[in-house]
Chain A
Amino acid sequence: MSIFKDAGHLFRFAGLFVLAFLVFLVVRHYVVPKSFGQYGHYRGAAIGEIAQHPAKFAGHEACETCHSDVADKKKAGKHAHVNCEACHGAIFERLPVAEQPKPNLFQRAVALVVHPLPSDPPLLRHAEDPTVKPVLPDTAVLCASCHTASAAKPKGFPQVVPAEHSNGMPCETCHQPHSPGMATPVAAAGGAK
């Protein structure tokens, strides 16, 4: 083969080039995550990881499976569209650290070996343990957070100046939060708008 005469140096270069390309492919294989490019220029597995975040609001449907009496009462009243956790707070909210159940010796030993870093405190599971109660809201603060009068609120929204409205009486004297229509006549309760 006369055309390959004196072409040895070209083949050596070609060999080096191919070798470098193979090294590149191997390195790339280990460096680029497997799911990168699955849906686009990003790590596809990240979508599943983000979806793993624990939910803390269970949704009103979850509450209504047990508390159907409250749900029925609420449906008939003006707070029909206010979801349970809007007032009672998230069901799976964490307990304050002091109230967390303390791990026993065995659990602590396991935790030390398996993951030495302190893990997140467990989530409250009211659904699994009904003695673990969601926060019972303080109506004086809770009701006022929506119904305090302000020129900025929509005109049709029921709003009062709390100090003038109730003479310091708690809201639930007249209004039951689950169905806030007047339980007793306004005059009897000594308050008005």
Chain B
Amino acid sequence: MNLSRRQMLILLPAAAVAWKSVLAGSPEESPNYKMTDHWWGMLIDIPKCIGCGNCVRACATENDVPDGYFRTWVERYHRSDWPMNESGEVTANPLIVPEVISPDGGKEGFPAATDESGKYFFVPKMCNHCADSPCTQVCPVGATFISPDGVVLVDQKYCLGCAYCVQACPYGCRYVHPTKEVADKCTLCYHRITQGLTTACCEACPTGARQLVDLKNPNDPIHEFLKTHSVQVLKPQMATGAKLFYNDLDGSVR
């Protein structure tokens, strides 16, 4: 073989690139679960939630969530009647200033509500598994991502624990794990849904207020539900493409 220096200079890098692609191999594929067949989300039916905290406890059990940290939590909103002082002036707009409590994330339930006035309701919260998630966009090392089936996940081996994503999440759904020192969040029980199970919070919810939905499944009841109910997402103005759908969401919820 008689190669000129010029030919050699062109061939060597080309060979290196080709060799690299040979070494990379082909991706492993699970025989039973095809990521491209699913697009996961969740439906939260607010009128059904009784604030028992079963979901919070189940999530902590299933995913070894440390005490004081939450992948899901429940808030109790109280929208008072229009508050007025003695001279009849309105002092606060209850739509803008609702009273919100979440003792220990609602893990052990809530104190009984004594004030019968106004409107009470529970709002379970968790990762919205946004289709255009701000948290994945800010990661400097590619450690958090939206999987091909629409679940926002953290690669904890790759995460540096810089917490940019914790700041970027508009819903406050991420935290830095106190012992692992990497970002941690709801995985939508990815280990369960890929096996055909529902999430731990849905499994434990006694009233069916939470339902796992697969938007790519044409037989999923979510399609009919979305047509017939008033369903909203949190902070739609942020255009995050949230897939946590709330039925009958009150306007005061932030």
The chain A residues found within 8 Å of chain B, CB to CB, are 11, 14-15, 18, 21-22, 25-26, 29, 33-36, 38-44, 46-57, 59-60, 79, 81-83, 85-87, 89-90, 93, 145-146, 148-154, 157
Contact = CB atoms under 8 A, between A and B. Distances in A.
A26 B16 contact: yes
Contact of B53 (A87, A89, A145, A152): A145
A51 B143 contact: no
Nearest to B16: A25
Residue with the highest number of chain B CB atoms closer than 10 Å, among A52, A54, A85, A150: A150
Contact of B203 (A33, A60, A152): A60
B167 interface: no
A105 B186 CA distance: 39
B216 interface: no
7 nearest CB pairs, A to B: A46-B155, A152-B120, A42-B145, A151-B113, A53-B191, A152-B113, A82-B206
B80 interface: no
A14 B9 contact: yes
A153 B51 contact: yes
Nearest to B158: A43
Nearest to A157: B50
Given A90-B58, A146-B206, A151-B113, A56 B191 contact: no
Given A42-B143, A46-B153, A83-B204, A148 B112 contact: yes
A41 B54 contact: no
Contacts of A59: 197-198, 203
Contacts of A18: 9, 12-13
Nearest to B187: A50
Given A29-B20, A86-B205, A47 B153 contact: yes
Nearest to B8: A18
B10 to A, nearest CB: 9
A54 to B, nearest CB: 7
Nearest to B111: A150
B203 A53 contact: no
B234 interface: no
B246 interface: no
A144 to B, nearest CB: 9
Nearest to B190: A50
B254 to A, nearest CB: 18
Contact of B50 (A41, A85, A146): A146
A7 to B, nearest CB: 12
23 contacts: A22-B12, A25-B20, A39-B147, A41-B142, A42-B144, A46-B145, A53-B190, A53-B191, A56-B200, A57-B58, A57-B61, A59-B203, A82-B207, A86-B205, A86-B206, A93-B61, A146-B50, A150-B51, A150-B113, A150-B120, A151-B113, A151-B120, A153-B120
Interface string B57-78: 0100111000000000000101
B23 interface: yes
A29 B15 CA distance: 13
Contacts of B194: 51
B32 to A, nearest CB: 11
A36 B25 CA distance: 12
Nearest to A38: B27
Contacts of A33: 158
Contacts of B12: 18, 22
Contacts of A21: 13
Given A15-B9, A150-B112, 10 more contacts: A18-B12, A29-B23, A34-B24, A40-B145, A43-B157, A49-B155, A55-B191, A57-B203, A60-B203, A151-B116
B121 interface: yes
Interface in B75-122: 76, 78, 109-110, 112-116, 120-122
A69 B191 CA distance: 30
Contacts of B115: 151
A51 B20 contact: no
Contacts of B23: 29, 34
A50 B198 contact: no
